[in-house]
Chain A
Amino acid sequence: MKKLLVPYVIGLVGLVFVPFGVTIAMAFSEYDLINPPVWIGFANFVELWGDGVFRTALMNSLVFAAIAVPLRLILALALALLLHRRAFLGGTARTTAALPAAIPEIAYGLLWLWLFNPLYGPINQFLGGSDGLTVFGRTPPGWLTLPNDARAGIIIMSLFTMGEMFVILIAARQALPRDAYELAAIEDATGWDVFRRITLPLMAPALGLLLVRDTILSLQLSFTPALVVTNGGPPPYATTYISLFVYRNAFEYLRYGYAAAATVVMLLLTIAAVAVQWRLVSKMRL
């Protein structure tokens, strides 16, 4: 039976442990693919500390995670609670909600590039009023040209790909005991009470797990949209997230050591965020 583990172990070592070790080692060296790596100690980290672009990228990533992750979770939960029952067209609605997550990321990005186009994009067409302002009375959002609108755009893009969370939450909701809800009905609990006192606490373990997982994922989530849709801009760095920062430094500026150091910082921050969340989540669990 142990032989069955071999492919898994090879994969784990080759795809996780070795790159992990190499990344850590590279973070302490200078390497440009041409000359052999040179050990430079903490110099990369010192440089990161003073690098304005890195700090912008770091802040962008944190803000993105802080807004996008809760919104994704809330949206997935809301849809799951709305659609978990068998109902007319329920299957169609569930498929619709889950489907965007299955679209290849590049295609998804190109689609949004069109949707967000300020002139002929359907979103601004829809928002537009007759007087050149939107129906809400402000100037139309400049999704690809104004820093905050672009950041919002990346977050909006991330919302529609919560399909996997949605599917997990539907399964979690369907696994809740029916008689708990029947008892609540007999005790005359209203919809809000039922949600707050039964559904939410009983689903807390699943929600907590998804929160942690999505926080980890959020650092990658912003990469493709930032690359394809906004190209890290509007200039200079409005949507340059850490992932894009790493990508640029490694594959465009050939600063592998520097990029590795940024990756390590990102990793440490992720671990810290997950540790905090895990403590909160374990308090909610039984």
Chain B
Amino acid sequence: MAGLRLEEVHAAHGINGVDLAVGEDELLVVLGPSGAGKTTLLRVVAGLMPAASGSVYIGDRDVTDLRPGSRNVSMVFQSYALFPHLTVADNISFGLVVKDVPRDQVRERTVKAATAIGCEHLLNRKPFQLSGGERQRVALARALVREPDVFLLDEPMSNLDLELRVETRAEIKALHRRVGGTMVHVTHDQTEALVMGDRIAVMKDGLIEQLGTPEEIWNKPATTFVARFVGSPAMNLLPGDGPVRPPDFFPEPGWLIGFRPEAVVLGQAGDPLGSVSRIDVIGEDSYVYLSVGGQSVVARVPTAHRPHLGAAIRVGVRRADIHLFDAATGRRT
């Protein structure tokens, strides 16, 4: 097994110098909004797009100038890219057959991969006879069968419904634990990233904003972008000298205070007054949007204790729950 390393990689479509190392049994999730360059990054690793400069290593091999077929990677496409004219078995074994692996081995490895994914009962079907979730499994089995050095998954769950997605992300994580290997999973879904990733690389504008474990990303966002992109609703970000801040806390000028909706303390004496401008009830919890001194703050409260629309209520936050950022650079201070 191998591991993956990118050094100062630039590429067209906005990859602006990415340094990244993925361990040999690591599942790295690349997270970012549309246009951040996640898929492009994956395509550069796969060799479907050339790197304008920089190097890509798989294990010790410099694969920067190798064609995709020589890199020993496999990829699950967002569309799954199953061949409509081939059965599931022939789809899974495609990579083996074109590499002239002996026929009995092809059969054996195909069945093994299909069994690992739980689609062995589908082997004789054609893709059009499969549901979305089944297609996704077949695409995973196909990626697995060649035992590649690096697995690349390009938003493989974006076409599944929510329930199936929740199930599938647990399965992929469990699968990764079983088979190991370097896995790079691209998604724009922050929950998926937090649940699945050994580490998460948050991308923006073709650069990695932060690379860290899900805990680090959540508890210590490196930039205001990461802070607001991870978490829903997004973290509150207010000027340091703004209306809402912990008591007896005096930030330097040019700082931003960030705190998550669940950290907001409502109704504590001494805090400034805000008025409730909107309430989103999401089952157990509700998100209360408040207007405080011209700033907007969102708070998560139990639905049973939610205030009335238009009510005036005191809004505060504890010292331990705040993140501080430099307003000029957006970096954590």
**Interface of A toward B, CB cutoff 8 Å:** 177, 179-180, 182-190, 193, 197-198, 201-202, 204, 286
Contact = CB atoms under 8 A, between A and B. Distances in A.
A186 B75 contact: yes
B77 A182 contact: yes
B85 A183 contact: no
Contacts of B97: 197
A188 B146 CA distance: 11
B85 A186 contact: no
Given A187-B74, A188-B99, A193-B98, 19 more contacts: A179-B81, A180-B81, A180-B83, A182-B75, A183-B94, A186-B48, A186-B69, A186-B73, A186-B74, A186-B75, A187-B95, A187-B98, A188-B68, A188-B95, A190-B98, A197-B83, A197-B94, A202-B85, A286-B84
Nearest to B148: A186
Nearest to B71: A186
B98 A188 contact: yes
B76 to A, nearest CB: 9
Interface in B47-70: 47-48, 67-70
Contacts of A189: 69, 94, 98
B46 interface: yes
Contacts of A202: 83-85
Interface residues of B, number: 26
Contacts of B165: none
Contacts of A187: 69, 74, 94-95, 98-99, 146
Contacts of B95: 187-188
B128 interface: yes
Nearest to B91: A183
Given A186-B48, A197-B94, A286 B126 contact: yes
B168 interface: no
Contacts of B79: 177, 179
A286 B71 CA distance: 33
Contacts of B46: 182, 186
Nearest to A185: B68
Contacts of B75: 182-183, 186
